[in-house]
C-alpha cells in the first residue's frame, strides 16, 4: 500500500502514542501485582503488536528515504552530465 510520507509520519505518531499509552497501562497493572506475576513488555501480546506496528511504519518511512536519496543522486548525476 503506497502512502505519502506525511501520512506515514502521522500514522507513526499515532502508533507511538498508542504504544506509549499501553506501556503506561502495563506499568500501572504491574505495580498492583506481586513480583512473580508481573508481565514484561516483550511478553505482552498487545505491546508486541503495537511495537511491531511502529517498526513496520518506520521501515516504510526508511524505504521512502532511500528512494528519495536515490532519486536525488540520479538528478545530480544527470545535472552534472549536462
The number of beta carbons lying within 10 Å of the beta carbon of residue 15 is 19
d(CA 67, CA 43): 35
Give the chain's domain count: 1
Look at residue 38 and give its three-state secondary structure.
coil
On the 0-12 / 13-18 / 19+ scale of CB atoms within 10 A, 57 is: buried
C-alpha cell at 70: 536515490
Enclosing domain of residue 33: 5-81
d(CA 33, CA 63): 42
In the 8-state DSSP scheme, what is residue 27? Answer: H
pLDDT at 24: 95
> For 1-18, what is each residue's pLDDT tens digit?
568 999 999 999 999 999
pLDDT at 69: 94
Amino acid at each position: 500500500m503506497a502512502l505519502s510520507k506525511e501520512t506515514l509520519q502521522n500514522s507513526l505518531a499515532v502508533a507511538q502514542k498508542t504504544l506509549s499509552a499501553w506501556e503506561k497501562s502495563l506499568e500501572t497493572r504491574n505495580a498492583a501485582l506481586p513480583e512473580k506475576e508481573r508481565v514484561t513488555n516483550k511478553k505482552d501480546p498487545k505491546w508486541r503488536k503495537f511495537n511491531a506496528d511502529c517498526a513496520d511504519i518506520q521501515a516504510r518511512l526508511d524505504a521512502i528515504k532511500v528512494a528519495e536519496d536515490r532519486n536525488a543522486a540520479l538528478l545530480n548525476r544527470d545535472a552534472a552530465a549536462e
